[in-house]
Chain A
């Protein structure tokens, strides 16, 4: 019984992807964040309730940025070491960017419609964020359509482009004053948040990061299963070829 898939699947069954403490911490941090967002934090004077989108929109972007660095570094480490655990992490992190960046863009667009009266505009921040999404759409497409060394190399190159886009997004509304508001954190001397808003944003960031970690762990496990299935499929074809000859 020396097949790669059998042992690996047994390993997965023994170790759950999400330990109970992680589920508890994530649920707890999410409940606290939702309480702060919808009950505790004061309502912003100019925009009113709609401003509360901020507490999901910004953490989704922050998690995407973090995932781009994790995925990119894991991709480069995989190229260097050929350790498949890095490849699994890279796939999980990079794929998660599609989800969290889409949330960021969709929520931002809904907020923009209420506040600016438009769904979208090609300003520096929005365009560079959209570019990030496109880069990772390309990553997923390449990942699914190629195999072997070529795939790893091309994916790592795409990840480097993705990582390079993050500072561009970060600096976009600092360097160019267009439609997107100026940064409320790390901006000029007029920037800043009320203490209750800052605390709520921090709690929402922690909760989103915990949720992302859960997603990554589950996706990494499926990535390992995908590898096992690929290995077994190859062996099955080899066995079939051997029988024919």
Chain B
């Protein structure tokens, strides 16, 4: 029974781990994209100002 419990723990741990890993990846990607967009925006605004 105790052995089954540890297998159950591993299974649910992996399941939840994969979901949280994916959510973490999405949040990192959002941060990176926001920075990239801000950089590109400031570059294009600068160019527009200079004409």
Contact = CB atoms under 8 A, between A and B. Distances in A.
B18 to A, nearest CB: 5
Interface residues of B, number: 28
Contacts, number: 90
**Chain A contact residues: helix, strand, loop or mixed:** helix
Contacts of B1: 48-49
A222 B7 CA distance: 35
**Chain B contact residues: helix, strand, loop or mixed:** helix
A222 B41 contact: no
B44 A111 contact: no
A103 B19 contact: yes
- Categorize the interface residue count of chain A: 35 or more
Interface string A204-228: 0000000100010011011001101
A120 B9 CA distance: 20
A218 B5 CA distance: 33
Interface of A: 1, 3, 5-6, 9, 48-50, 52-53, 56-57, 60, 96, 99, 102-103, 106-107, 110-111, 113-114, 211, 215, 218-219, 221-222, 225-226, 228-229, 232-233, 235-236, 239, 243
26 contacts: A5-B41, A9-B34, A48-B4, A50-B4, A50-B7, A53-B8, A56-B11, A56-B12, A57-B11, A60-B15, A99-B18, A99-B19, A103-B15, A106-B11, A107-B14, A107-B15, A110-B11, A215-B23, A218-B27, A219-B26, A222-B30, A225-B33, A228-B33, A229-B33, A232-B40, A236-B43
